[in-house]
Amino acid sequence: MNRSRQAIRGQTHLWVVQRVTAMLLAVAVTVHLVTIIGAVRGGLSATEILGRLQGHEGWLIFYVVFALAAGLHGAIGLRAIAAETIGLRGRGADLAWLAAGLATAAFGIRAAIGLYA
Amino acid sequence: MDLRTRSHPTWIAFLVHRVSGLLLALFLPLHFWALGTAIEGEARLEGFLRWADNPLVKAAETILVVLLAAHLAGGLRVMALEFLGWRRRQKDMVAASAGLALLAGLLFLLNVV
Amino acid sequence: MAEAASLKVSVWRGGEDGGFARYDVPARANQTVLDVVTHIQRELDPSLAYRFACRVGMCGSCAMTVNGRARWTCRTHVRKVVDADGALELRPLANLPVIRDLAADLAPFFDKWQRAKGSFQPKDAPDGAVPEDFAVVPPGSKARREADAGIECIGCAVCYASCDVVAWNPDYLGPAAMNRAWTLVNDVRDGARGERLEAVAGDAGCHSCHSTQSCTERCPKNLDPSSAIAGLKRTLFWDTLLGRR
């Protein structure tokens, strides 16, 4: 496989990741919005949030998947904006965006574990 | 930029999708950082939440809810076009997405106040 | 609308670094934008460069930017685009090199049709020979209907000039080339599906389309290149996920 074919394959894979995460986010964001609108009724409190999340594996798995999808989806979106506005393109930039997405996701997963433990 | 060529509903939907996506992507690390304070104990998280009772923060949160709902609804429209081939009534779908986003913001405001 | 007695026409003169020249053209009933340009060239300034051929919306050579929007000038009535004081602004098509005045260089546009593998590759006769028998393609079949939806393109480049992604990424194939590719992907007689999908994938292809749908909005033939590009994305999505490519 030559270099340009490989580059096109990489770009296609990034797009596929963008759409697969979009499908996950479609469900996750709907749940998130309903949760937010329910939770803010009568004010937010740390006890209420921790009471919902601490020790609940279901919510932990939900938020881990959510954070991973959101981190990757956001980074791939920013990649398109950077390419089209400031002309930032290429394999190096793509790898940097992927790393930024995974780092953001890791940050979110760390928070999800913090709220679970 | 010549706006005479960029006034049709699907172009405006693209603009909303791009701006909301950009702002949400920039907000995401901040959001995760704030939630991460919980690791340092319930008191620290409680302190953050009391700071967030500030009306300015509530206003910013309402805007974020609208952006999130708009990005969700706009994204569903794009995926319906891409994966289901729903090419008809694009303009109605744009209007419906906008309605959904504003409804989410309104519900949030009604519950938060 | 009260019609002005004469049209105040600003016409792009020169190359990329040219400017507008002003002409007064008598307003007439049922006048097309191409009639206005022809009047200027025949009566006012014979050095004006522009392009046209059929004058009936078949050949796709007379497209220009009229009051900011790409249009086929032979089928655009002046009264549809002009405001009450009769101002008309004409420029060559956007997103293409300017040759001179109202003539844009369409070479990059057609080069991209080639890059998108926009020519039919007969499955039965790879060497280009005439197949032994007629292919039977039922008119009601899904593939045939998808192909039919995009087949009437006249190659006028209105969609290409209206596309933001082309402006942002000069390598981007653009709506017309991918609309053509999608008709061929749906042509059951064609044998180059794999190569063609490869050619339209990635950042220079369908994956950069943001569905602003300016192409669909502006196409004078009412085609829907935006949906054709969506079809390419859909096909590539499943082919990639299921490891078919």
Q: Domain tally for chain A?
A: 1
Q: How many Å apart are CA A17 and CA B100, to the nearest integer?
A: 26
Q: Which residues of C touch A5 (CB under 8 A)?
A: 198
Is residue C69 within 8 angstroms of chain B, CB to CB?
yes
C2-to-C6, C28, C36, C85, C97 alpha-carbon distances in Å: 12, 13, 19, 9, 37
**Is residue C73 within 8 Å of C62, Cβ to Cβ?**
yes
From the options 3.40.50.720, 1.20.1300.10, 1.10.10.10, 3.90.420.10, give the CATH code of B3-112: 1.20.1300.10
- Please, what are the domains in chain C? 6-104 (3.10.20.30), 107-241 (1.10.1060.10)
| Partner-chain contact B83 C231, CB within 8 Å | no
Q: How many Å apart are CA B29 and CA A104, to the nearest integer?
A: 6
Q: How confident is the model at residue C3 (pLDDT cuts 50, 70, 90)?
A: low
* DSSP conformational letter for A13: H
**pLDDT mean across residues, chain C:** 94
pLDDT at position C95 is 97
Q: Which residues of C touch B82 (CB under 8 A)?
A: 211, 230, 233-234, 237
Quote the percentage of chain A above a pLDDT of 70.
97
| Partner-chain contact A74 B108, CB within 8 Å | no
Strand partners, C66: C69, C90
pTM value is 0.93
Closest chain C residue to B90, measured at CA: C213
pLDDT in tens, C105-128: 999 999 999 999 999 988 877 676
Query: Among A5-9, A59-63, C1-5, C114-118, which stretch is predicted with the lowest mean pLDDT?
Result: C1-5
Quote the percentage of chain C above a pLDDT of 70.
98
pLDDT at position C166 is 97
The interface pTM score, or ipTM, of the predicted complex is: 0.93
Q: How many Å apart are CA C12 and CA B99, to the nearest integer?
A: 42
**Is residue C123 within 8 Å of C39, Cβ to Cβ?**
no
In the stretch 14-73 of chain B, residues with CB closer than 8 A to chain A read 18, 21-22, 24-25, 28-29, 31-33, 35-36, 38-39, 42-43, 45-46, 49, 52-53, 65, 68-69, 71-72
User: Which one of A46, A81, A110 has the shortest CB-CB distance to B36?
Assistant: A110
Check whether C1 has a pLDDT greater than 50.
no
Q: Which residues of B touch A44 (CB under 8 A)?
A: 49, 52
Is residue C208 within 8 angstroms of chain B, CB to CB?
no
Segments forming the whole domain that contains residue A49:
3-116
**Is residue C245 within 8 Å of C194, Cβ to Cβ?**
yes
pLDDT at position C80 is 93
pLDDT at position B77 is 95
Check whether A66 has a pLDDT greater than 70.
yes
For chains A and B, what is the number of CB pairs under 8 angstroms? 96
Is residue A85 within 8 angstroms of chain C, CB to CB?
yes
Chains in contact with B, where contact requires at least 3 CB pairs less than 8 Å apart: A, C
Residue A28 belongs to domain with CATH number? 1.20.1300
Query: Whose structure tokens read 């770009």?
Result: A11
pLDDT at position C127 is 73
Strand partners, C88: C9
B89-to-B17, C67, C92 alpha-carbon distances in Å: 18, 27, 32
Q: How many Å apart are CA A55 and CA C130, to the nearest integer?
A: 71
**pLDDT mean across residues, chain A:** 94
Q: How confident is the model at residue C130 (pLDDT cuts 50, 70, 90)?
A: confident
Closest chain C residue to A82, measured at CA: C168
pLDDT at position B66 is 96
What is the mean pLDDT of the segment spanning B18-27? 98
Query: Among A16-25, B9-18, B31-40, which stretch is predicted with the lowest mean pLDDT?
Result: B31-40
Closest chain A residue to C164, measured at CA: A84
Q: How many Å apart are CA C70 and CA C162, to the nearest integer?
A: 6
Q: How many Å apart are CA B63 and CA B19, to the nearest integer?
A: 12
pLDDT in tens, A80-113: 999 999 999 999 999 999 999 999 999 999 999 9
Closest chain B residue to C232, measured at CA: B82
To the nearest whole Å, the CA of A14 is away from the closest chain B CA by 16
pLDDT in tens, C11-29: 999 999 999 999 999 999 9
Check whether C75 has a pLDDT greater than 60.
yes
pLDDT at position C5 is 84
Within its chain, how far is the Cα of C158 from the centroid? 4
Check whether C92 has a pLDDT greater than 80.
yes
Closest to C197 (Cα-Cα) out of C121, C111, C109 = C121
Is residue C207 within 8 angstroms of chain A, CB to CB?
yes
What is the mean pLDDT of the segment spanning C72-88? 93
